[in-house]
């Protein structure tokens, strides 16, 4: 009986040893199928698009709000091509430049070369906020604007003095369409005095003016 038990134990050990590689191979194969499983079958024919979308959503949820908001901001506003008359008018005043989408697009392109595009983005965000009437939407947009352009932790923080920041902090206790009015005016003035004169002497403006002048002459 004792010898019989030892023989049985050897058989079980041998059986376990033989099964282990096969089991590991099966698990590996199953793992490979799971990571690349198609939505409709367990073959390795494709990556699962459902998992891809879900992973993208999870990654998006973890990203800073300024990155999410940036996705919703087009590289330029939709507008018809400016006329020679419009481009000449931009030189008359900063107000006329900012009045048209084409003018803002050209100026924004220039600000991008000076790494100060956040000034225009902030101004545009404030204009968008003024159009809202829903209280919850106003509060959410005000929070995003604060995080993206006012917070000292933001890479897109705009330059504001301490007085205006104090006003904003008070206004954020109960956000409204006009929470950032003082700040928007200060940034508008900054762009007018600092960036606008350089824009008028920039290659971006001069090339556009020359191109439209040549087309006008040809016509």
Q: What is the pLDDT of residues 143-160, one digit of tens each?
A: 999 999 999 999 999 999
| Higher pLDDT pick, 31 / 202 | 202
What is the DSSP secondary-structure string of 41-67?
A: -SSSSS--HHHHHHHHHHHHHHS-HHH
pLDDT for 125 beyond 50 = yes
> Does residue 209 register a pLDDT over 70?
yes
Query: 176 falls in which pLDDT band (50, 70, 90)?
Result: very high
Query: Does position 174 have pLDDT exceeding 50, yes or no?
Result: yes
Contact 179, 168 (CB under 8 A): yes
Residue 42's pLDDT band (cuts 50, 70, 90): very low
* pLDDT the model gives residue 51: 38
Please report, for the chain, the start and end positions of each structural domain, with discontinuous segments joined by +: 84-218
Residue 46's pLDDT band (cuts 50, 70, 90): very low
Confidence of residue 6 (pLDDT cuts 50, 70, 90): low
Mean pLDDT taken over the chain: 78
Gap between the Cα atoms of 17 and 15, Å rounded: 5
Q: How far apart are CA 126 and CA 184, in angstroms?
A: 7
50-91: pLDDT as tens digits: 333 344 444 443 444 334 333 444 456 787 899 999 999 999
Q: What angle do CA 85, 91, 94 make, to 5 degrees?
A: 115
Nearest residue to 178 (alpha-carbon basis) of 122, 137, 131, 144: 131
* Residue keyed to tokens 């009045």: 99
What is the DSSP track for 98-131?
A: HHSHHHHHHHHHHHHHTT-HHHHHHHHHHHHHHT
- Residues 112-121 have pLDDT tens digits of 999 999 999 9
Q: Which residue has the tokens 């590996």?
A: 28
Please tell me the predicted confidence (pLDDT) of residue 68: 36
Q: Hey, what CATH class is 84-218 in? A: mainly alpha
């Amino acid at each position: 009986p004792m010898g019989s038990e030892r023989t049985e134990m050897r058989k079980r050990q041998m059986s376990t040893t033989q099964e282990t590689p096969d089991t590991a191979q099966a698990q590996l194969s199953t793992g490979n199928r799971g990571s690349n499983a198609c939505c409709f079958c367990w073959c390795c024919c494709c990556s699962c698009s459902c998992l891809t979308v879900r992973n993208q959503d999870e990654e998006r949820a973890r990203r800073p709000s300024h990155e999410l908001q940036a996705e919703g901001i087009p590289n330029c506003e939709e507008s018809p091509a400016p006329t020679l008359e419009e481009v000449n008018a931009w030189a008359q005043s900063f107000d006329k430049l900012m009045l048209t989408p084409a003018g803002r697009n050209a100026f924004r392109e220039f600000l991008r070369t000076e790494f100060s595009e956040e000034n225009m983005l902030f101004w545009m965000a404030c204009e968008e906020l003024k159009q809202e009437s829903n209280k919850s939407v106003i509060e959410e947009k005000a929070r995003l604007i604060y995080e993206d352009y006012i917070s000292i932790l933001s890479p897109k923080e705009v330059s504001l003095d301490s007085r205006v920041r104090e006003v904003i902090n008070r206004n954020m206790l109960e956000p409204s369409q006009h929470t950032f009015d003082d700040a928007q005016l200060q940034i508008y003035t900054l762009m007018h005095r600092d960036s606008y004169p350089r824009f008028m002497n920039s290659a971006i403006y001069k090339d556009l003016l020359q191109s439209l002048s040549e087309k006008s002459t040809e016509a």
